[in-house]
């Protein structure tokens, strides 16, 4: 992914941040239960103060994907793959990961999976399948931890 300044992101893929479809338009193209699950994730993200939604074009996957930001920092993005919805969060190994691993807010299964996820250059790309409302809620708690860290950093 490339960030706004055109530099490759931690996963090295290209992302074009052009104007694309609205997130609601993407949701409307999905079949159930995916549409409801993405709408649930969207609602959880937008309920956090100062969170904005955008769509980014993923050149590797060749589709527009909803993404949620706190300022310039991406909280997470969601892909609609054949196998199902997958939410992805970039997790800093030195600052965010320790907070998540110590958080009682985050489901223990997600904490274990994060600890087992490999990373490079100080960042992990943590991928979570969203197959149920429970999966969305558990991922929402993970997002809340990243959001809280972002609010602290912002002052």
pLDDT bucket at 60, cuts 50 / 70 / 90: confident
Phi/psi of residue 115, nearest 5 degrees = -60, -30
Distance CA 54, CA 74 (A): 10
Q: Looking at domain 15-154, does it have CATH number 3.90.1150?
A: yes
How would you class 125 by CB atoms within 10 Å of its CB: exposed for 0-12, middle for 13-18, buried for 19 or more?
middle
| pLDDT at residue 153, rounded to an integer | 82
> pTM for the whole thing?
0.84
Residue 110 has pLDDT above 60, yes or no: yes
- Give the tens place of pLDDT for each residue, 138-150: 999 999 999 999 9
Is the link from the previous residue into 33 a cis peptide, with omega within 30 of 0? Answer: yes
pLDDT-wise least confident of 5-9, 19-23, 31-35, 61-65 = 5-9
Helix (H) / strand (E) element for 153: namely helix 133-154
pLDDT tens column, 69-82: 999 999 999 999 98
Q: Which residue has the higher pLDDT, 28 or 3?
A: 28
Query: What size, in residues, is the chain?
Result: 155
Left if phi > 0, otherwise alpha if psi is -120 to 50, otherwise beta: which for 150?
alpha
Percent of the chain's residues with pLDDT above 90 = 72
- Stretch 24-50: mean pLDDT, rounded? 94
Judge whether residue 48 has pLDDT over 60.
yes
Lay out the sheet containing 63-70: strands in order across.
Answer: 15-16, 51-58, 63-70, 73-81, 84-92, 123-130, 119-120
Question: What's the confidence (pLDDT) of residue 18?
Answer: 52
């Amino acid at each position: 992914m490339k960030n706004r300044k055109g530099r490759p992101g931690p996963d090295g893929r290209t992302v074009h941040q052009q104007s694309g479809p609205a997130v609601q338009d993407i949701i409307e193209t999905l079949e159930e239960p995916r549409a409801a699950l993405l709408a649930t994730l969207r609602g959880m993200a937008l309920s956090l103060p100062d969170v904005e939604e955008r769509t980014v074009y993923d050149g590797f996957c060749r589709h527009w994907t909803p993404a949620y930001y706190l300022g310039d920092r991406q909280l997470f993005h969601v892909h609609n793959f054949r196998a199902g919805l997958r939410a992805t969060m970039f997790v800093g190994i030195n600052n965010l990961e320790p907070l998540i691993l110590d958080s009682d807010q985050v489901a223990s299964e997600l904490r274990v999976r994060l600890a087992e996820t490999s990373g490079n250059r100080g960042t992990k790309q943590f991928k979570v399948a969203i197959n149920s409302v429970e999966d969305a809620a558990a991922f929402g708690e993970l997002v809340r931890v990243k959001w809280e860290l972002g609010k602290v950093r912002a002052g």
